[in-house]
């Protein structure tokens, strides 16, 4: 097999040159439209279940911080609620659990469709510069 480039240095009439220029511009418009359609077909980085799990994890974190909040010592009076087991044991545990659940929520892949439906070898360019000659 021998590979040769097209001869593009031939003299053209102005009318033919305008036709070629119009065809090239139409081809570039078609390429940009095909690239936009390929962008729309790409799968989302995370699925619906990921966002649900991240929402639950965020809710656990918020609940933990709300449980840790409360009144503090004021003036000469001592508030025994500062050492309440809910504020020093349960709330930090719930907050930590929320942070731990966030990791699998982000990394979970779930069941995905096969991406092979996208055509990788798209040879729709009509102005290919290479001609293959077989012997």
Per-residue pLDDT of the chain (135 residues; tens, 9 = 90+): 455 555 555 566 666 666 666 666 666 555 556 555 555 667 778 889 999 999 999 999 999 999 999 888 888 888 888 889 999 999 999 999 999 999 999 999 887 554 544 445 555 555 555 666 676
Phi-psi region of 24 (alpha: psi -120 to 50; beta: other; left: phi over 0): alpha
Answering whether pTM is above 0.85, one says no
Separation CA 83–CA 80 (nearest Å): 6
How is 29-44 classified by DSSP, letter by letter?
A: HHHHHHHHHHHHHSPP
pLDDT at 34: 57
pLDDT at 116: 47
E-assigned strand segments in the chain? 2-5, 130-133
3-class secondary structure, 86: helix
pLDDT at 117: 45
Separation CA 24–CA 8 (nearest Å): 14
């Amino acid at each position: 097999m021998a590979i040769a480039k097209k001869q593009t240095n031939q003299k053209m009439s102005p009318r033919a040159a305008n036709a070629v220029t119009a065809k090239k511009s139409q081809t570039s418009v078609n390429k940009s439209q095909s690239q936009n359609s390929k962008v729309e077909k790409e799968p989302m980085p995370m699925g619906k279940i990921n966002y649900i799990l991240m929402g639950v994890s965020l809710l656990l974190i918020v609940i933990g911080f709300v449980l840790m909040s409360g009144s503090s010592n004021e003036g000469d009076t001592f508030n025994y609620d500062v050492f309440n087991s809910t504020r020093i044991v349960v709330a930090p545990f719930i907050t930590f659990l929320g942070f731990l659940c966030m990791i699998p929520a982000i990394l979970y892949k779930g069941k995905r469709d096969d991406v092979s439906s996208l055509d990788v070898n798209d040879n729709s360019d009509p102005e290919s510069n290479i001609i293959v000659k077989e012997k």
